Chains A and B, each alone.
Chain A
Amino acid sequence: MTAVVDSMPRAGFVRGRGAVIGFGAPLVLLLIVAILAPLLPLPDPNLQDLGASLLAPGSPGHALGTDQLGRDILSRLVYGARLSLLIGAIGMLLGAIIGTVLGLLAGYYRGIVDIIVSWLIDAQLAIPFVLLAIALITSNGRSLIVLLLVLALFSWAQYARVIRGETLALRSRPFVLALRAGGVPGYRILLRHLLPNQAGTVLVLATLQMGAVMLAESALSFLGLGVVSPDISWGAMLSEGKDQLVYAWWIAALPGLAILITVLLVNLLGDALRSVLDPRKRRY
C-alpha cells in the first residue's frame, strides 16, 4: 500500500552502515527464530487445549497467553513468522523480477515497448489492490499460488516505474553509447551493464516493498483471502482475534504488534540501505 511513497525522499533517523546493521540484525534474528521454530521448546502451535483457553499473557506455561481454542500465542507467533516472512519475500521477489525486467525493456528500447509498459503501469496503479485481490480470489478460489500472484501484481509496477526512469537516464550516458557503437547486443548491455548499475536501486526498492507486501498479505489474510487455518500467518491470527477483541485483546493485539515492528524494521533498513547505496538520493 505504499506503492508510490517508496520512490520519494524519506525521512530518516539513523543513516549509514551502522544503521543497516542495527536494523538488519533484529530481522536476521527473527528469520533465524522462524527457521528454527520446530527446534525451539515451544508447544505445537495448532495444539488445542480448551481447558486453557483465553489465558492472559503471563500465565504459567503460556508467556503470551492462549487463544479461544487454548493454542499458545507465542508458539503461533513464531510459526506465523515463517509464512508471513516467506510470503513477503516471495511476493516481493516476483514483483521485483517482473517489474525490473519490464522497466529495463521499456527504458532501453523505448518506442512501442515503452508505451505498452507505461500504459500497463498506469492501469495497474489505477486498480485498488484489495479490490483486485477480491475479484481474483472470488473467481479462482483461495490458494497460496493465487495469493503470491496477487502480491506480485501489487508490487511490480513500482519497480517498473523507477527502473524505467533510471534506464532512460542511463541509456544516453557515454558508456552505453560506446557499448552500442562497439556492436554489443542489446540484451548484453541490459544484463551486464544496465542491470548491475541499478542493483542498488533494486535492492533498496525491494527492501521497502517487502514491508508493503507484508502489510498487503496481512490485509488479505485478515479478510480471509490469504492464509487460512491450519496454516498460520500473522494476518490470519489477527482475523481470528477480531471476534475476541473485547474479551481477549491479546489475541489480535500481539500479531498486529509483530507485523508493525517487523515492517517498521524493514522500512528503517530500507532507508538505511538507501543512504549507503545511493548517496545521490540522500535528500535529508
Chain B
Amino acid sequence: MIKTIVIRLLLGIATLFLAVTVAFIVAHGSGNPAAELLGASATPERVAQLQHELGLDRPLYVQYFDFIGGLLRGDLGTSLRYNQPNLELIMQRIPATFELTAVALAIAVVVGIPLGTLAAVKESTWIDRVTSAVALFGQSVPVFWLGMMLILIFAVQLGWLPAGQRNGPLSVVLPAVALSTLPMAQIARLTRSSMAETLGEQFIVAGRARGLSRASIILRHGLRNSSIPVLTIFGLQIGALLSGAVTVEYVFAWPGLGTLATQAIEGRDFTLAQAVVVVGVFVFVIVNLIIDVLYAVIDPRIRRTRA
C-alpha cells in the first residue's frame, strides 16, 4: 500500500514536471509576450526595453531554470497587470472555483450514478433510452451556452435564481447545473456500462444464489464494483471540468480561477496565465493521486495485488 502510494507520487511528480515545462514553453518559449503586451503601436526599442525589464531577453534555458527554481520555492512570479504575486491572486480565487466545481460534481454524481444504475438494471427500457439521451446531450452541448439559456429562463423570465455573481448559496445553482452536464453525462454512461458488466460477474450470480436480495446486490456489490471506472474517468475529467469552469465562470461573472484567467487574456498577462496553468496541472495531479489511493480503499483486490 505504502509502496503503491510512493510510486504513484513519483509518477505524479514526473507528470507535473513535464506539464509545467509544457506550460513554460507555451507561455515563454513561443511568440513575443512583450510585443503582445504593448500592442501593435509599440516601437521596437520599447519592446526591447520591456523584454529586458521582464528578463525575456535572457537565454531560454536561464529563464526556464529561473521559473523551475521559483516553482520549487512556491513562487509563481508576479502578475504584470496587478503587480501582485500570482500565487496570491490565484489563492484568492480558488475557494470560488472549488465551490463551483464541487457543487457541479455533486450534482453530476447524485444524478448520474442512479441514472446509470437504473439504465443498467432496466436495460433496453425507456429509462435506458432517457439515460442515453441525457448522456448524448451532456456531451454535445456547449456548457457556456447552456449557462446563458439557464440565465434566460430561470433568472430573466422566471426570476427564481440569481443570474450571476457569487452572492449566497442560491447563486451557485445555475452555474453548477451548467457545469455538471458533461461529467454527469460521462458518469451516467460509464456507470451504466460498468454496472451492466458487473451484474454479469460470477460473484453477483453467487450472491443471488445465496439468496441476497436484488436491491442489496445492486447497491452493496454492484455499485461498489462498478465505481472503479467511474472514479478513473472522474480523475481524468478534472482537466475538462476546469476548462468548462473557465467559460461558465465567464458567463456568470463567478469570481473564480476562470475569471482570473480571462482577465489575464485581456491584460495580456502571460505570467499570470502561465501560473494559472501550473495551478491547474497541480490540481489535476493531486486529485488523481487521491483517486489512486481511493481505488485501494474501494477494491480489496487492488489493495492486495498492488501492495
Contacts and interface: CB of A to CB of B under 8 A. Distances in A.
A and B bound?
yes
B264 A134 contact: yes
A238 B23 contact: no
Given A129-B239, A135-B23, A139-B27, A218 B285 contact: no
Contact of A263 (B140, B237, B238, B243): B140
A136 interface: yes
B133 to A, nearest CB: 8
A32 interface: no
A271 to B, nearest CB: 8
B142 A259 contact: yes
B26 A136 contact: yes
Contacts, number: 217
A139 B262 CA distance: 14
B193 A283 contact: yes
Interface string A127-151: 1111110111111110000000000
Contact of A10 (B15, B145, B189, B244): B189
Contacts of A125: 236, 239
Contacts of B189: 5, 8-11
Contacts of A218: 142, 145
SS class of chain B's interface: helix, strand, loop or mixed? helix
Nearest to A137: B265
A248 to B, nearest CB: 11
B71 interface: no
Contact of B145 (A2, A138, A256): A256
Interface in B122-155: 123, 128-129, 131-133, 135-137, 139-142, 144-146, 148-149, 151-152
A131 B261 contact: yes
A138 B277 contact: no
A147 to B, nearest CB: 14
Contacts of B276: 131, 134-135
Interface in B25-79: 26-28, 30-33, 36
Interface stretch (B2-10, B169-177, B266-274): B266-274
A256 B150 CA distance: 13
B18 A242 contact: no
B221 to A, nearest CB: 21
A164 B119 CA distance: 32
A252 B148 CA distance: 8
A130 B243 contact: yes
Q: Which 4 A-B pairs have the closest CB atoms?
A: A256-B145, A140-B31, A11-B132, A130-B243
Given A128-B284, A283-B193, 11 more contacts: A126-B285, A127-B22, A127-B280, A131-B280, A138-B33, A139-B28, A139-B273, A223-B262, A245-B151, A253-B148, A267-B139
29 contacts: A4-B236, A5-B186, A11-B119, A11-B132, A13-B132, A123-B22, A126-B16, A128-B246, A128-B277, A129-B243, A130-B243, A130-B258, A131-B277, A136-B30, A138-B264, A138-B273, A215-B142, A219-B243, A222-B144, A238-B145, A242-B148, A245-B151, A246-B152, A253-B149, A260-B145, A263-B140, A264-B137, A267-B139, A283-B196
Interface of B: 14-16, 18-19, 22-23, 26-28, 30-33, 36, 119, 123, 128-129, 131-133, 135-137, 139-142, 144-146, 148-149, 151-152, 156, 182, 185-186, 189-190, 192-193, 196, 233, 236-240, 242-244, 246-247, 250-251, 258, 261-262, 264-265, 268-270, 273-274, 276-277, 280-281, 284-285, 288
Interface of A: 1-5, 8-13, 119-120, 122-132, 134-141, 211, 215, 218-219, 222-225, 235, 238, 241-242, 245-246, 249, 252-253, 256, 259-260, 263-264, 267-268, 283-284
